[in-house]
Amino acid sequence: MIGRLSFIVFLSIFNPAYASHYQYTVKFVDSLASAEITVCLDGEQDDYLEIDRFVAYKTLIEKPKIKETDTDIEIEGRFWNIKGLNKNACVEYEVSLVENLLKRSTKKRGLSTSKENQKILHIEENNWLWLPEKYDSLDTIDIELILSKNYQVSTPWQQLDFNKHLYRLGHEPQDWGFHIVIGDIDVAQIEIGNDRRINIATINASGTTKSTTQFINQWLRNIANSVKNYLGQYPLKQMQVVVYPQDGVKRSPVPWGEISRGNGLGILFVIRPDHAIEDFYDDWTASHEFAHSLLPKLRYRDIWLSEGLASYLQYVLMAQNNQLTKEQSWKRIYKGFQKGIKGTQSVGREKLLDVSDNRKRGARSGRTMRIYWSGAAYFLKADIRLRKESKGIVGLNDVLLKLSNCCLKGSKVWSGGALASKLDELSNTTVFSILYKNMAYSSEFPKFNKEFESLGFDISESSIMLGKYSETTLSNSIMTARNHSQ
pLDDT band for 14, please (50, 70, 90 cuts). very low
Query: What's the average model confidence in pLDDT over 104-120?
Result: 58
pLDDT band for 55, please (50, 70, 90 cuts). confident
Of the two residues 43 and 128, the one the predictor is more confident about is: 128
Bridge-based pairing of strands 140-146 and 166-168 is antiparallel
Q: What is the pLDDT of residue 111?
A: 55
Q: What is the pLDDT of residue 485?
A: 43
Considering the domain architecture, whether residues 278 and 356 belong to the same structural domain is answered as no
Query: What's the average model confidence in pLDDT over 149-157?
Result: 96
Does pLDDT of 7 surpass 50?
Answer: no
Q: What is the pLDDT of residue 137?
A: 87
Burial-class residue 413 by CB neighbours within 10 Å (0-12, 13-18, 19+).
middle
For the stretch 371-428, pLDDT in tens is 999 999 999 999 999 999 999 999 999 999 999 999 999 999 999 999 999 999 999 9
pLDDT band for 345, please (50, 70, 90 cuts). very high
Q: Tell me whether residue 399 is in a domain.
A: yes
Q: Which residues pair with 143 in a beta bridge?
A: 24, 167
Model confidence, pTM: 0.91
Considering the domain architecture, whether residues 199 and 346 belong to the same structural domain is answered as no
For the stretch 278-316, pLDDT in tens is 999 999 999 999 999 999 999 999 999 999 999 999 999
Query: Among residues 313, 316, 178, which one has the least CA distance to residue 258?
Result: 178
Query: Among residues 270, 51, 94, which one has the least CA distance to residue 179?
Result: 270
Bridge-based pairing of strands 140-146 and 21-28 is parallel
Q: What is the pLDDT of residue 463?
A: 66
Does pLDDT of 1 surpass 60?
Answer: no
Considering the domain architecture, whether residues 317 and 195 belong to the same structural domain is answered as no
Structural domain harbouring 110? 19-172
Instruction: Give the rounded percent of residues in the chain with a pLDDT score beyond 70.
Output: 89
Q: What is the pLDDT of residue 249?
A: 55
Q: Which residues pair with 40 in a beta bridge?
A: 23, 90
Q: Tell me whether residue 429 is in a domain.
A: yes
User: What is the chain's Cα-based Rg?
Assistant: 25
Among the residue ranges 43-47, 55-59, 92-96, the one predicted with the least confidence is 43-47
Q: What is the pLDDT of residue 12?
A: 42
Q: What is the pLDDT of residue 46?
A: 85
Q: Which residues pair with 193 in a beta bridge?
A: none
Query: What's the average model confidence in pLDDT over 213-226?
Result: 96
Task: Please tell me the distance from the alpha carbon of residue 326 to that of residue 320, in angstroms, as a whole number.
Answer: 8
Query: What's the average model confidence in pLDDT over 322-339?
Result: 96
Give the end of a domain, one of 172, 197, 230: 172
Considering the domain architecture, whether residues 287 and 363 belong to the same structural domain is answered as no
Q: What CATH code is carried by the domain that includes residue 99?
A: 2.60.40.3650
Considering the domain architecture, whether residues 137 and 194 belong to the same structural domain is answered as no
Give the end of a domain, one of 117, 151, 172: 172
Structure letter (DSSP) for residue 447: P
Residue positions counted in the chain: 486
Q: Tell me whether residue 3 is in a domain.
A: no
Does pLDDT of 3 surpass 90?
Answer: no
Considering the domain architecture, whether residues 65 and 153 belong to the same structural domain is answered as yes
Q: What CATH code is carried by the domain that includes residue 238?
A: 1.10.390.10
Considering the domain architecture, whether residues 255 and 394 belong to the same structural domain is answered as no
Q: How many angstroms from the chain centroid is the CA of residue 61?
A: 33
pLDDT band for 465, please (50, 70, 90 cuts). confident
Q: Tell me whether residue 10 is in a domain.
A: no
Query: Among residues 207, 157, 213, which one has the least CA distance to residue 182?
Result: 157
Q: What is the pLDDT of residue 87?
A: 85
Mean pLDDT score across all residues of the chain:
90
Rounded to the nearest 10 degrees, the angle between the axes of helix 326-346 and helix 364-389 is 130
3-class SS at 421? Answer: helix
Q: What is the pLDDT of residue 8?
A: 39
Query: Among residues 95, 93, 97, which one has the least CA distance to residue 40?
Result: 93
Q: What is the pLDDT of residue 104?
A: 54
Q: In one letter, which amino acid is 296?
A: P
Q: What is the pLDDT of residue 112?
A: 53
Q: Tell me whether residue 123 is in a domain.
A: yes
Does pLDDT of 449 surpass 80?
Answer: yes
Does pLDDT of 202 surpass 70?
Answer: yes
Q: Tell me whether residue 304 is in a domain.
A: no
Query: What's the average model confidence in pLDDT over 225-247?
Result: 95
Q: What is the pLDDT of residue 159?
A: 97
Q: What is the pLDDT of residue 365?
A: 84
Give the end of a domain, one of 148, 172, 196: 172
Q: What is the pLDDT of residue 327?
A: 95
- Spatial neighbors of 222 by CB under 8 A, at least 6 apart, are 281, 321
Q: What is the pLDDT of residue 115?
A: 58
Considering the domain architecture, whether residues 146 and 195 belong to the same structural domain is answered as no
Considering the domain architecture, whether residues 119 and 211 belong to the same structural domain is answered as no
Task: Please tell me the distance from the alpha carbon of residue 443 to that of residue 390, in angstroms, as a whole number.
Answer: 31
Helices marked H in 395-472: 396-406, 416-427, 431-440, 449-454
Q: Tell me whether residue 404 is in a domain.
A: yes
Q: What is the pLDDT of residue 448?
A: 95
Q: What is the pLDDT of residue 205?
A: 62
Considering the domain architecture, whether residues 117 and 211 belong to the same structural domain is answered as no
- Vertex 233: Cα angle to 252 and 415 (nearest 5): 75
Q: How many angstroms from the chain centroid is the CA of residue 166?
A: 21
CA dihedral 306, 307, 312, 313 (to 10 degrees): 60
Q: What is the pLDDT of residue 113?
A: 54
Burial-class residue 342 by CB neighbours within 10 Å (0-12, 13-18, 19+).
middle
| The most confident of 63-72, 417-426, 477-486, by mean pLDDT | 417-426
Bridge-based pairing of strands 238-245 and 266-271 is parallel
Query: Among residues 200, 158, 150, which one has the least CA distance to residue 32?
Result: 150
Number of domains making up the chain: 3
Considering the domain architecture, whether residues 328 and 429 belong to the same structural domain is answered as yes
Q: Tell me whether residue 4 is in a domain.
A: no
Considering the domain architecture, whether residues 413 and 470 belong to the same structural domain is answered as yes
